Structure 1
């Protein structure tokens, strides 16, 4: 299935969904994912392997972590070469005073926002979607 490229269609149909749980960022310098850890995102960097994972897994594994986040999935199937979705979403969240870390998956975009502001972020994105219809 080909992803959507039209910005108006993407914004109107994004259907932001807050995934349950608290997610954290950590890093493992040796690049080895500890046993019992199932990251939802991994990024390989020169300094080590960044993991985004449920907070409970980080704590149980003794991993130091930073930035407790809520994970929002934009349910619209966006094309990887679509132009403007990330910018529009980030602008809406900026206007609401909410920081955002964006990860593009093959089918959907995923946003990691401060956990305490996750519901506010969903409301801001729903308002953006309504305005774009």
Structure 2
């Protein structure tokens, strides 16, 4: 298992975050369980159902309804889960540019989901933070 301790210094996180844009459109789908063979990027269990974040192609192949099409941007810096300010700085910069953002934190990286049509603008804004 890899060491999950990451960087906590906000200046270093912003300088080194290196946003990487996935080429695959992503969507949110709600279901009761993850279908056999489905490999979602992320899952969130809520009282209303299980939210899957997965590629649009996989959602379509599985017959999942979806409406919001997002671009996945991964910040390639190893951010500590206890780091303070990275999410706020990123969300504020994107909000000032009129770009909505949904954040998913993994043990090693932060992942942003922004509107598909605003993906290039979002990456430019994030690069400007460094």
Aligned to 1:110, the other structure's residue is in SS state strand
Q: Is the Cα contact below 8 Å between 1:36 and 1:61 reproduced in 2?
A: no
**Can you give the 5+ residue segments of structure 1 that lack an aligned partner in the other structure?**
none
Aligned to 2:28, the other structure's residue is in SS state strand
State the alpha-carbon separation in 2 of the partners of residues 86 and 5 from structure 1.
12
- 2:49 maps to 48
- 2:7 maps to 4
CA drift of 1:38 comes to: 1.2
**Can you give the 5+ residue segments of structure 2 that lack an aligned partner in the other structure?**
none
1:22 counterpart = 2:22: no
1:86 counterpart = 2:87: yes
CA drift of 1:16 comes to: 0.4
Deviations 1:17-47 (A, max 9, x none): 001110000100x2x1123421001001111
State the alpha-carbon separation in 1 of the partners of residues 83 and 73 from structure 2.
19
CA drift of 1:15 comes to: 0.3
State the alpha-carbon separation in 2 of the partners of residues 36 and 106 from structure 1.
24
Please give the TM-score of this superposition, normalised by the length of structure 2.
0.95
